[in-house]
Amino acid sequence: MTDQLKISDLDLTAYIDGELDADRVRAVEDAVSRDAGLAARIAAYRADKNMLKRIYAPLAEHSIPSAWTELARASPYPAARARHSWRLVGAIAAVVLVILGGWRFYDAAHKPVAAGDVIQAALDARGDRPSAQKTIAVANIGEARRYDAALEGIVGVNVQVPALGSMGFQVTSLRFYERAAEIQYRDSKGRIFTLYLRPSDGTTRFDQFERDGLRVCVWQDDRISTVMAGTISAAMMQRLASLTYVGLAS
């Protein structure tokens, strides 16, 4: 097997982001030193990332424009509007934040929104404090998707269990609470990634930080609150957060 077959695009983008462990970094650098094609791909990825940053950097200083929010809510079909309006805003924010690597989302007054208790509730759920009212073990995304309707009933938004397999995380269980749900994933290294969902209190927030040895990302709009947590790098959380929101809304 050639080095080019061994080194994937995910390896190369993770290398650029500084996410790979030392052994994998050496493997990539060794392969790149002997394969001009891999070196060219890395250079192209870096050039694309730098170009996108230059183009979209001014957006990092602004909240999501109110006109975009109004556009998302302007559907002539009330049911569709209620079901999908949050998705457009979330998708726009995901694209901008992943491009820029920015991790603070401000409200209309450009002031950070208080954390509230959703983060602690998510971390308590991750530690099974209190115990879930119902826990369902699943073997794959197909089994997990059978409970999409239950998720929608809890959070009040049409969502589905996101598939995170492209990042190496497979869904293993769902936990249901009275007004919240947690989806748990695990990768080949045994790392656990949790996605906590509940109805929003109406405020808007996006942030990423470290707490109690976990990388935590909170994303909240006027419809839904989500808290993602795992023993992963900031760069991996950035990609998982984007993939999660695309997956929730698909």
pLDDT digits (tens, 9 = 90+) for 37-77: 888 888 877 776 666 555 445 555 555 555 545 555 555 54
Strand partners, 166: none
Domains in the chain and their CATH numbers?
A: 3-55 (no CATH), 103-249 (3.40.1000)
> pLDDT band at 82, cuts 50/70/90?
very low
**Mean pLDDT confidence for 107-128:** 68
End-to-end CA separation in angstroms for the chain = 36
Tell me the pTM.
0.63
CA dist 225 and 243 (Å) reads 16
CA dist 79 and 57 (Å) reads 35
The per-residue pLDDT for 171 is 98
Say if residue 197's pLDDT is above 90: yes
By CB neighbour count within 10 A (0-12 exposed, 13-18 middle, 19+ buried), where does 235 fall?
Answer: middle
CA dist 210 and 103 (Å) reads 12
Give the dihedral of Cα atoms 63, 65, 66, 72; nearest 10 deg. -110
Greater confidence (11 vs 179) lies with 179
H/E stretch holding 138 reads: none
pLDDT, mean over the chain? 77
